[in-house]
Homo-oligomer: A and B are copies of this chain.
Amino acid sequence: MGLEDSGYIGLALEILTNAGVKIGDIITVINSDHKYSGILMPRASIGSDPNHIVVKLDNGYNIGICLSSDTIIERDMRVTGERTPSVVSLETNPELPTVSILSTGGTIASKVDYQTGAVNPALSAQDLYDTIPELQDYANISAQIVMSKLSENISPSDWTKIAKRVATHIRDGVDGVVVAHGTDTLGYTGAALSFALQNLPVPVAFVGSQRSSDRPSSDAALNLIRATDFVGRSNIAEVLIVMHGETDDSFAFAHRAVRTRKCHTSRRDAFQSINSSPLFKINEDSFMELSSPLYRRDLGRKLKVKANFEEKVTLVKIHPGLRPSLIDYLVSEGYRGIVLEGSGLGHASKKLQESLSSAVDSGLLVAMTSQCINGRVNMNVYRSGVELLERGVIPCEDMIAETALVKMMWLLGNTKKLEKAKDLMTTNLVGEIGLRSEYKEYHYSLEGGVVE
């Protein structure tokens, strides 16, 4: 491909043009104090800056190189515009565990095709080895593309597909499954599979990346490597989210998926366990258990799949001025459940009480979480809470709103018995609800880590 569609602008485009190179060429970049050699990559994200170029080094990593007007770029004549895939062994190593990596799309699964410059959410085993050759040190990989969607477009029916595909791989006898997924709704899908995959014999880890793989700061490699290593060897059998533990490329956390939300738009350590600690700290050479897993690896355990989700369930965040007619509308449209993000300990304006009461009387499940994010709903403290309880609103304890929504969709998708669904909403099934006394940690602003 030519440079005009490569995403380069300004100084970078000028220097590259003058050097007569094109995307895919092997180039040498000479700055005042450094010299780099590798394959010239396109810029995949929109609005890239004019001062950096991206080069794929021999070790498989992409780096961003800052240009100045003095930078010299030379084309390596050995290969001219031809792709040179690294030759890797795809033979099975009997010493290593077997791990399936399933791709659903998102930034982490994107691969820049440097012939066309397009970002393709494609992830074959060869692609993976090509991009992250270290993976072969940790496991024998079987990689498959389940779908290619940005995660904001993933729907509850996609959760069903992903759950069934993961189940197939588990039944084939792999030691663990990694699901590559966009970060936007990674927590929701992780929660969905936590409920859908019952009696898990091996771990399933969701993994994403906050920075695309053509950026020097991409977290894709570390997250994939740590997740692959962890599901291959660890002694846990739960649905996890494995993401950067801090901004450096130092370690990852394995969070329990039903407890986890994306808490920052861009940071690499955006994912946090809420009202609980992460389960494991995953270092390069060790796994540190931070909290007790509910289920340990047990290859004899027989997986059950219950992967139906009722889509007529929605989340309503309570706010001053919220109109009761919105609740009435949901009832009249035949919704089967509403998860409220109430204020404080689980409150809503008394103006909403009558409509919420009607919703319950009409056979909807109505459940209460808190928009505070951290802490536990307690509707027994103030009259506002007591009155909602009396009207049949279900208190979700310390379950996060996103998980409560997924859980309600799952319950209503798998049982016709409303009372049973109501009971199960407040029953801890897979670690989504904690004991009242279990955990006091709180994500604290300045000093941080204050424990009550």
A residues adjacent to B (C-beta < 8 A): 45-47, 150-156, 159, 182-185, 188-189, 245-247, 253, 261-267, 269-270, 272-273, 277-278, 309, 311-323, 325-326, 329, 333, 341-351, 370, 372-378, 380-384, 386, 402, 405, 409, 441-450, 452
User: A265 to B341, alpha carbons, bound, how many Å?
Assistant: 12
6 inter-chain pairs at a CB distance below 8 angstroms, sorted by A residue, are A45-B381, A46-B381, A262-B343, A265-B346, A265-B377, A270-B372
Chain B nearest CB: distance from A2 CB in Å?
A: 22
User: A12 to B178, alpha carbons, bound, how many Å?
Assistant: 56
**Which B residues lie within 8 Å of A345 (CB)?**
265-266
Contact A348 B152 (CB under 8 A): yes
**Which B residues lie within 8 Å of A409 (CB)?**
321
Chain B nearest CB: distance from A300 CB in Å?
A: 34
Chain B nearest CB: distance from A182 CB in Å?
A: 8
User: A426 to B370, alpha carbons, bound, how many Å?
Assistant: 28
Contact A322 B333 (CB under 8 A): no
Contact B47 A381 (CB under 8 A): yes
**Which B residues lie within 8 Å of A329 (CB)?**
329
Chain B nearest CB: distance from A401 CB in Å?
A: 8
Query: Which residue of chain B has its CB nearest to the CB of A350?
Result: B153
User: A393 to B245, alpha carbons, bound, how many Å?
Assistant: 33
User: A216 to B62, alpha carbons, bound, how many Å?
Assistant: 58
Q: Which of B154, B247, B349 sits near A155, CB closer than 8 Å?
A: B349
User: A386 to B343, alpha carbons, bound, how many Å?
Assistant: 32
**Which B residues lie within 8 Å of A342 (CB)?**
152
Give 9 nearest A-B pairs by CB, closest first. Answer: A448-B448, A265-B375, A448-B449, A184-B343, A184-B344, A152-B347, A443-B443, A264-B375, A264-B374
User: A377 to B184, alpha carbons, bound, how many Å?
Assistant: 12
Contact B247 A452 (CB under 8 A): yes
Contact B452 A444 (CB under 8 A): no
Known: A150-B382, A448-B447, A450-B247. A155 touches B320 (CB 8 A): yes
User: A347 to B262, alpha carbons, bound, how many Å?
Assistant: 13
Contact A314 B320 (CB under 8 A): no
User: A449 to B442, alpha carbons, bound, how many Å?
Assistant: 12
**Which B residues lie within 8 Å of A266 (CB)?**
345, 375-376, 378
Contact B320 A325 (CB under 8 A): no
**Which B residues lie within 8 Å of A384 (CB)?**
150, 152-153
